[in-house]
Chain A
Amino acid sequence: MSQRIVVDPITRIEGHLRIQAVVGDDKVVSDASSTSALFRGIEIILKGRDPREAWALAERICGVCTLVHAVTSVRAVEDALGIVIPKNANLIRNQMMATLQVHDHVVHFYHLHALDWVDVVSALKADPKATSDLAQKISKWPKSSTGYFTDTQNKLKKFVESGQLGIFANGYWGHPAYKLPPEANLMAVAHYLEMLAWQKEIVKIHAIFGGKNPHPNLIVGGVPCAINPNHPDAINIDKLSLVKSKIDEAIEVVEQVYLPDLMAIASFYKDWAKWGAGLSNKGIMDYGDFPTVPGDKKSDRWKGGAILNGNLKEVFEIDPRDPEQVQEFVAHSWYEYSGGDKKGYHPWDGETMPKYSGPKPPWEFLEMSDKYSWMKAPRWRGHAMEGGPLSRILLAYAQGDEEVKSYVDEALKTLDVPLEAVYSTLGRTLARALETKRAVYLMKKLHEDLVANIKAGDYQTANTEKWEPETWPKTELKGVGTYAAPRGALAHWVKIKDRKISNYQAVVATTWNGSPKDPTGQHGPFEASLIGTPIHDPQKPLEILRTIHSFDPCLACSTHVLDAQGNEIVQVEVQ
């Protein structure tokens, strides 16, 4: 007899996610559903507002990706108004984005994902001398002495003995699916703590350019920070030196801690190259990012595109303006469409009418045959698509990016697995680490470019020619901004009329990855990735956490409302 497993809340993610899975007698997942359990309505709130302040409100879509939505929003507004940002602003935005990529991935690996692979309690049994030998064998990171690991272990021991386990309480410790020897567990726990302290350092780059983190500041037309090498309160050599020192630290952390840890841990979990492929070999996408020339998508350092059925020989171009490409469906989402549940809408023409039709809470189960999520189902040319580091690494690989190709080939060789192994839970986690390496060296390059540009006498950080709304036409303007967000493909679509936002829509990374089924019954990536996975103990479904966490879900961003032209709620809002 089959049984239903519910994991709600999925913790160690941002937001409220529920997974329901059906497991047969063979203990293999035969069906799964992904439910977003929060709806805030940010896009409705954006309507009628000054387009110049949209970034600030849109940034509050997520406090983990933080800057991500701000950049996407200013890009959409700048696209609508025809504003091209100055070179320095482009470099500074790219720098802040690369910083975020590194911060986000490191925090994801150590603090949101590692405990799926690392048994904290087992670390108590480790021999600190053997841990030290292991650490020194895989990395030249200086904190690796026997004494250091003895201290860490003692700290952990006393913590456990204190009887107050705090955030470590009730984990699946001792689960037979944990494969690491105690020494590797102790090393990983030590690095969990070290990285908790380090992650607050790298975001100082956001504070320098944007005033704070989380939620740094931007402006339409550029960045708010001014450059003046001869003024104490502007971006000067002191500020640039701090940025440089944080980049140097980040390179060390990624090269000497993150990558060695990831490779060491992965070597014990190679069987996870068998599970969790989901849609990664059926449909992947990204919009591309890090333009070298402001406003020119063709100059992106990270190339976008779509790949179908694992055919790396053919990369399709993605056009977010084409009404036939990106569309959203609501057949299994708590919304209704005036065109009916089978219709899909391109975001510029989309409509959203929230209409809850689930059971009255408190409830135990949601029926997968009904509507079951606050997420819509975005599709690209009708295909459900996966986004994120794995998609981007594959896109770069397919398009002949030599840097990425060398990272991938080296990692596969070390792990002794074929390229096909990346279509998996393991591959997704590996790709994120390789992308972090790519991002950290990009930070270095961007810093050199910024310094060179300032040295050449260019101090401009904002294009304010069209700052005043009086300079804009009153007719309807349309814009779209895209972003290679840490979790996947992100885009915001804006319409401006009478100098106010008349329509604002975001189709975000976790909506792509966590989408419910569409009218044709196609599962979204989370759902598809769980099907076929064996579950050792349905009471402790560690395997579900491993695969879902490999996507790094971020739910606040996935729970939004799109435009609802003619919808009553909107009319009320406009008044």
Chain B
Amino acid sequence: MMPAETFYEAVRRSGVSRRDFLRFCATTAAFLGLEGTVLPQIVNALETQKRPPIYWLNFAACSCCSESLIKSSHPLASEALLGVISMDYMETIQAAAGYQAEEIARNGMKENFGNYILAVEGSVPTADGGIYCTVGGRTAIESLTEAAKGAKAILCVGSCSSFGCVTVAKPNPTGCQPIHKLITDKPVINIPGCPPIPEVIMGTIVHLVTFGSLPVLDRLQRPRVFYGQRIHDKCYRRAFFDAGMFVENFDDEGARKGWCLYKVGCRGPVTYNACSVTKWNEGTSFPIQSGHPCLGCSEPDYWDRNPLYQHVADVPLPGFATADTIGGIFAGGVAAATVAHMVASTVKKATHKDAPQETTASGKEE
């Protein structure tokens, strides 16, 4: 068997020119928010490193994260599975089955001990000895514990492995746990979202491949580059929030004019994700753009925070109103802007506890 090829060799053989490769490196740098001066470093890293093996384990999951991954449309992403990374185990799409599939994981993890990336989709049921999820007769807990030993880093793809998502929603009947509660001696990167945006999954992997180090993480272990801003901060409907112009009911006049969805339950103001920047399905849309409030799916415990269609906070406004009433009073009115600024700053204050506090621990913050 020939020595494993580098990322550069892989993309070259898949028909990409050197020029396009360099353009990809530049795009990646820009996408990761990096200065142009690090470009040679990226090029060098991609030219000299072999494709990193990834073992993708599915536990208590619905596979929406796998489905999201294969919809990645960022440059070269359609080649990702065959070129950028070496997806050595991924039950949803791999050719091998049964014993032959298990063999790949077992042998591969031994050969690449200390050097592979472990991706986990789904949370891990821990009640009653873990019997609620078994693969090959072994419990998810057992598989995870063993696979984690030789992993360089663990990518928790999706809200289930990051925070638990639906599986831990009350009353959590199978005792599901997110990965960081079970594995404490390895770097864990959370890539939450139900599912995460495909380019966010790929972007995090490309960062690891490129620099061989973790991206800067927030206090919830999310890559700051993708989760550093609230949906609300970049929402194109923000102007209507600031102007106090709200959708009061689905399909009302405001809805048909694209007004702010805050009052029908939008969690954009308390949700950190890239939806309003990167958008979904190659920039086609994102939930708010298609008229539905943000569910806040990349935040911990989002199913149990409050009813979905009740907006996140009745923000008290000085003196006379709440956010519930200002729409009615000021919608379209000239005084809206003044009040809206109060709303905005009060919301900010009220949600401050949700803001990611960047850690200064080594490896997590420059």
Contact = CB atoms under 8 A, between A and B. Distances in A.
B289 interface: yes
A63 B65 contact: yes
Contact of B167 (A10, A40, A206, A231): A40
A134 interface: no
A163 B2 contact: yes
Interface stretch (A256-264, A383-391, A457-465): A457-465
Given A224-B292, A358-B131, A561-B173, A8 B98 contact: yes
Interface string A182-220: 000000000001001101100110111111111111010
21 contacts: A8-B135, A38-B60, A45-B170, A60-B194, A162-B10, A162-B13, A163-B3, A166-B82, A169-B95, A196-B70, A197-B78, A204-B284, A212-B275, A227-B256, A233-B258, A356-B131, A360-B129, A363-B137, A464-B250, A540-B100, A569-B171
Nearest to A541: B98
B173 to A, nearest CB: 3
B307 interface: yes
B62 A556 contact: yes
B250 A164 contact: no
**Contact size range, B:** 35 or more
B62 A60 contact: yes
A56 B308 contact: yes
Contacts of B171: 44-45, 569, 572-573
Contacts, number: 328
Nearest to A89: B251
Contacts of B72: 200
B100 A214 contact: no
A476 interface: no
Contacts of A374: 132
Given A14-B92, A207-B284, A200 B133 contact: no
A15 B286 CA distance: 27
Nearest to A15: B63
A12 B13 contact: no
B97 A169 contact: no
A214 B68 contact: yes
A199 B64 contact: no
B338 interface: no
Contacts of A53: 307-309
Interface stretch (B23-31, B83-91, B219-227, B326-334): B83-91
A61 interface: yes
Interface in B96-121: 96-104
Given A166-B82, A222-B250, 14 more contacts: A9-B97, A9-B102, A11-B97, A60-B165, A63-B66, A66-B64, A163-B4, A166-B81, A167-B93, A200-B70, A200-B281, A209-B290, A214-B68, A224-B250
Interface in A132-178: 151, 154-155, 158-159, 161-164, 166-172
B87 A166 contact: yes
Nearest to B249: A464
A237 interface: no
Interface in B217-236: 236
Contacts of A41: 167, 173-174
B195 A37 contact: no
B250 A467 contact: yes
Contact of A215 (B91, B103, B135, B194): B194
A226 interface: yes
Contacts of B3: 163
Contact of A57 (B96, B275, B281, B303): B303
A130 interface: no
Given A57-B169, A213-B281, A228-B257, A196 B78 contact: yes
Contacts of B289: 211, 233
Contacts of A197: 78
Given A12-B93, A207-B290, A44 B173 contact: yes
B94 A151 contact: no
A362 interface: yes
B57 to A, nearest CB: 11
Contacts of B167: 40-41
A12 B292 contact: no
B67 A66 contact: yes
Contacts of A541: 98
B317 interface: no
A38 B133 contact: yes
B280 to A, nearest CB: 4
B316 interface: no
A232 B258 contact: yes
Contacts of A452: none
Contact of A11 (B67, B92, B295): B92
A234 B289 CA distance: 8
A38 B91 CA distance: 14
A52 B67 contact: no
Contacts of B94: 11-12, 167-169
